[in-house]
Chain A
């Protein structure tokens, strides 16, 4: 909390000698991190805890896949397995992928892209981080007091009657929801109020459009989850009959409430991923993004349409044929903006100068995997085919192609893209290529087999399975081990780069958005001058400078705001 009183010289640097000031060495000690209001440090702390959650969720996944090597018991009992897949889902969804990109890269990059010093509400930002910590602690504590065996969806009346720690887990998710709302609110205010001179709405980097659309969903949908989980807790602890028919409630009502949040939530997960794609594809193709306005509007369209499709999770629940028809039709509408984005990204590569550096390798992986994930959604949006595929491994595979092949892979693209900016270090390109390849191969082996067994009728959440599904399950498990090796290699070279990595220049890739105009890592105050924005995809304004192994702006004054008071 002492940072604000540091004496500054005129150019934003602290007074006195010593190494160059950066947000990393500006203020020392654990407390200077835990109570920082600096968006960059909050982003880093989020990155640490969210990657730890990803690791935890990944460990659960490996237990699941190992158990499924053989029908019947392999390494654990049915009850343990049921807890494992619940924990895998709950940790990956609520702790990792929902906060994932906005809280880490969004927090770090968004104010920099605006040429701003911080988000609009830095204290709310810190509060959001602390709420995450509290919510995550409560959720993880549920493991110690017996864990949960309901699946991450907490369907009633199973969840109100099972003997496991449902209240702790849902309370954790409830608190995490507020963390998410605060982050979204902060970003909305920041984008509305803090854009620099020259940055009109349609000159915002597309990353900001994606984060903005995400924030709308976070703010509007998450309260519904909060209320639903509170009702669930009320039913369990007080016996109020809302969802349990034994108490006069309706179990299907729970599904409506739950998916009213949780379907928009998958767009909370995918929109920021698409936002990263728009940046990475343009920069590594050395070309202006193609069809800026279509991409920007498609993000808003997805955010709005996402609220109208929740009923497609309930085609077999017994809801009326009319309801099913309406939700099926609306579901297809949300496919269109996603398709538009893919075509625009491809067109961006046309006549480009394409560099296959690590971020681009992940972006290309994304195009491949997200295409499969999106297209398999057509089988599930269509009513008669969904009846057969619903609640089978086909859905599991579709979900993972979109969320893992889409969001996680784009997150990796973003991490590799902004890593030099965040830590001021380069990573090993060769090892990055190796791990990208292993993750791509391992992912497809793990999840493509699940499409096939799903359409053959293998239901999801099965501890035991019929003999004829064994080969698919074993291939899937082998894939998951390859995937794990890919991630371990990544952890290795990224950690190595923190210590031994080559120093990164301000602009290693040639991006034209404002975060590349400041040093890597950025100084505490982000920019030495007030910035103004031009076209965020005018990559021709930059040229390669071999002496610093980075890009420089041909006309540096073009992004500097006119000095105040000058005439």
Chain B
């Protein structure tokens, strides 16, 4: 596997993208300037305190109370320094903001508190899998509040804003597994809105994607359903342990008789589950708000079927993981 997260320098995590090196170079450049001025200030201060410490009955020595040439000098020098820093910062930023034309595109959706990564073939995963040494462009949107996609090892960060698409790109330079954080505060489980970036060695990404996309064929329907339930954001609102969250628990839901918000009752069967996925607010269980987004067009028939099979499975199968 790739570099350990602890392998970075005193200041920085390991460098795993094409822009990381230039970002770190600038960081170190500013650090050197900062250390120089910090030491200058502190040394001058300490020397003056020692040298000109008040002694009994002694007044300050006379010295000028201004010196225009000196003051202009120490105004102009910082001006030059910050212009240089600005220039390198802007130059590096332009590289980070301009994706190459041939970038591989992945759609990203953030919602409280889960990332989903949508690959060109329609497959959706909860982690970001990418090939090494190939530019990847993320087109991102949010289903609710502002999130921010942050991969420290790549030195990239981009807010994910509801109502618009934001974009970010990177090219990973070393296979391995890296952390992906949500960096914009988004509520209760903000700090658990994590994902992994898995950088595949040359040639392996395509193999992974094909295998992962075929999970409906390669897995049992119950396992496939469990995977979908976890990856597609169901478990953010529907628990598997009997506790009510934003929506009712799915523990033993199949065959259960529920009281409806409109006063009637319903025995949960395949048709009701299917309807609840595609038209979630048509018939809502009493005590819950009609807030679930529709999955019309977001789940295929076979996927809905797998979820139904998972919910039908005995509790033992549901809790195993």
What is A's interface to B at a CB cutoff of 8 Å? 78-79, 82, 149-151, 155, 157-158, 161-162, 245-246, 250-252, 285-294, 316-318, 321, 324-325, 328-329, 332-333, 335-336, 339-340, 342-344, 346-347, 349-356, 364, 367-368, 371-372, 375-376, 378-379, 381-388, 390-392, 452, 455-457, 459-466, 468, 537, 539-540
Q: What chain A residues lie within 8 Å of B52 (beta carbons)?
A: 285, 349-354
Give Cα A329 to B83, complex, Å. 8
In angstroms, Cα B13 to Cα A390, docked, is 15
A340 CA / B37 CA spacing, docked (Å): 13
Q: Which B residues are in CB contact (< 8 Å) with A368?
A: 41-42, 45
Q: List 22 A-B contacts (CB under 8 A).
A: A82-B190, A149-B187, A158-B187, A245-B162, A318-B166, A324-B93, A329-B86, A344-B71, A347-B67, A350-B48, A367-B42, A367-B45, A381-B85, A382-B26, A384-B92, A387-B23, A390-B157, A391-B157, A391-B183, A460-B185, A466-B179, A539-B60
In the complex, are the beta carbons of A292 and B155 less than 8 A apart? no
Determine if B13 and A462 form an interchain contact, defined as CB atoms under 8 angstroms apart: no
Q: Is the CB of B58 within 8 A of A353?
A: yes
Q: Which residues of A contact B89 (CB under 8 A)?
A: 328, 381-386
Question: Roughly how many angstroms separate A247 CA and B252 CA in the complex, as a whole number?
Answer: 37
Cβ A459 vs Cβ B181 within 8 A: yes
Query: Could you say which of B126-134, B141-149, B255-263, B294-302 contacts chain A?
Result: B141-149
Q: Closest chain A residue to B70 by CB distance? A: A347
Q: How far apart sit A461 and B192, CA to CA, in the bound complex (Å)?
A: 11
- List residues 62-90 of chain B with CB under 8 A from any CB of chain A: 62-67, 70-71, 74-75, 78-79, 82-83, 85-86, 88-90
The answer to whether B191 and A246 have CB atoms under 8 Å apart is no
A372 with B71: in contact, given A351-B61, A384-B96 (CB under 8 Å)? no
Query: Known contacts A250-B163, A375-B37; is A325 also within 8 Å of B150 by CB?
Result: no
A352 touches B150 (CB 8 A): no
A391 and B184 contact, Cβ closer than 8 Å, known pairs A290-B65, A368-B42, A371-B38: yes
Q: How far is the CA of A91 from the CA of B61 in the complex (A)?
A: 46
- Which residues of chain A come closer than 8 Å to B185, judged between CB atoms? 82, 150-151, 155, 158, 460-461
Q: With contacts A78-B188, A246-B162, A391-B150 known, is A384 near B34, CB below 8 A?
A: no
Q: How far is the CB of A543 from chain B (nearest CB, A)?
A: 9
Stretch of B3-11, B201-209, B312-320 at the chain-chain interface: B3-11
Contact with A along B12-36 (1 / 0, CB 8 A): 1100000100110011001101100
Residues of A contacting B166 in the complex (Cβ-Cβ under 8 angstroms): 318
List A contacts of B268 (CB < 8 A).
Answer: none
Type the 1/0 row for B151-175, where 1 means its CB is closer than 8 Å to any CB of A. Answer: 0110111110111101000000000
Residues of A within 8 A of B27 (CB): 379, 385, 388, 455
- For the complex formed, measure the closest distance between the CB of A254 and the CB atoms of chain B, giving whole angstroms: 10
- CA–CA, A391 to B67, complex, Å? 41
Measured in the bound complex, the distance between the Cα atoms of B187 and A79 in whole Å is 8
Q: Please give the residue numbers on chain B whose beta carbons come within 8 Å of chain A beta carbons, in ascending order.
A: 5-6, 8, 10-13, 19, 22-23, 26-27, 30-31, 33-34, 37-38, 41-42, 44-45, 48-49, 52-55, 58-67, 70-71, 74-75, 78-79, 82-83, 85-86, 88-97, 144-146, 148, 150, 152-153, 155-159, 161-164, 166, 179, 181-192
> Would you call B12 and A318 a contact (CB within 8 A)?
no
Known A-B contacts A371-B37, A384-B93; the reply to A456 vs B152 at CB < 8 A is yes
CB distance from B16 to the nearest CB of A (A): 12
CB distance from B8 to the nearest CB of A (A): 7
- Complex interface: chain A residues within 8 A of B49 (CB): 349, 354, 356, 364
Complex Cα distance, B284 from A112, in Å, reads 69
Chain A positions within 8 Å of B58 at CB level: 353
Chain B residues in 8 Å Cβ range of A289: 65
A332: chain B residues within 8 A (beta carbon): 82-83, 85-86
Set of chain A residues within 8 Å of B188, measured between Cβ atoms:
78-79, 82
The CA-CA distance from A351 to B51 in the complex, in Å, is: 8
In the complex, chain A residues whose CB is within 8 Å of the CB of B186 = 158
B11 touches A383 (CB 8 A): no
State the Cβ distance, A155 to closest chain B Cβ, in Å: 6
B145: min CB distance to chain A, Å = 4
CB distance from A231 to the nearest CB of B (A): 17
Which of B8, B48, B164 is the one whose CB lies under 8 Å from A352? Answer: B48
| Smallest CB gap from B81: residue in A | A378
- Complex CA gap A326/B148 in Å reads 23
Nearest residue, chain A, Cβ from B45: A367
Q: How far is the CA of A399 from the CA of B184 in the complex (A)?
A: 17
Q: A353-B58, A465-B191 are in contact. Are A161 and B145 (CB under 8 A)?
A: yes
Residues on A with C-beta less than 8 A from B184 are 155, 391
User: Do A371 and B162 touch (CB < 8 A)?
Assistant: no
Q: How far is the CA of A392 from the CA of B181 in the complex (A)?
A: 11
Assembled-state Cα–Cα distance A383/B184 (Å)? 18
Report whether B74 and A339 are in contact in the complex, using a CB–CB cutoff of 8 Å: yes
| Docked pose: A356 CA to B50 CA in angstroms | 10
Asked whether A387 lies within 8 Å of B93 as measured between CB atoms, the reply is yes
B145 proximity list for chain A (CB < 8 A) = 155, 157-158, 161
- The answer to whether A316 touches B159, judged by C-beta atoms less than 8 angstroms apart, is yes
A145 smallest CB distance to B (angstroms)? 19
Query: In the assembly, what is the distance between CA of A468 and CA of B19, in Å?
Result: 24
A559 to B6, CA, bound (A): 65
Contact, CB under 8 Å: B161 / A318: yes
Query: Which of B45, B186, B192 has most chain A Cβ within 10 Å?
Result: B45
Q: Inside 8 A of A321's CB, which chain B residues have their CB?
A: 93-94, 97
Contacts of A392 in B (CB 8 A): 183
- Contacts A368-B42, A368-B45, A457-B152: A350 and B63 contacting too (C-beta < 8 A)? yes
By a CB distance below 8 angstroms, the chain A residues around B155 are 384, 387-388
Contact assessment for B26 and A384 in the assembled complex, using a CB-CB cutoff below 8 Å: yes
A292 with B163: in contact, given A368-B42, A459-B182 (CB under 8 Å)?
no
Q: Are B162 and A383 in contact, with the CB atoms below 8 A?
A: no
Closest to B46 in A: A364
Closest B-chain residue to A162, C-beta based? B187
Q: Which of B58, B88, B93 has the most CB of A within 10 A?
A: B93
Most chain B beta carbons < 10 A, residue from A291, A379, A382, A537: A382
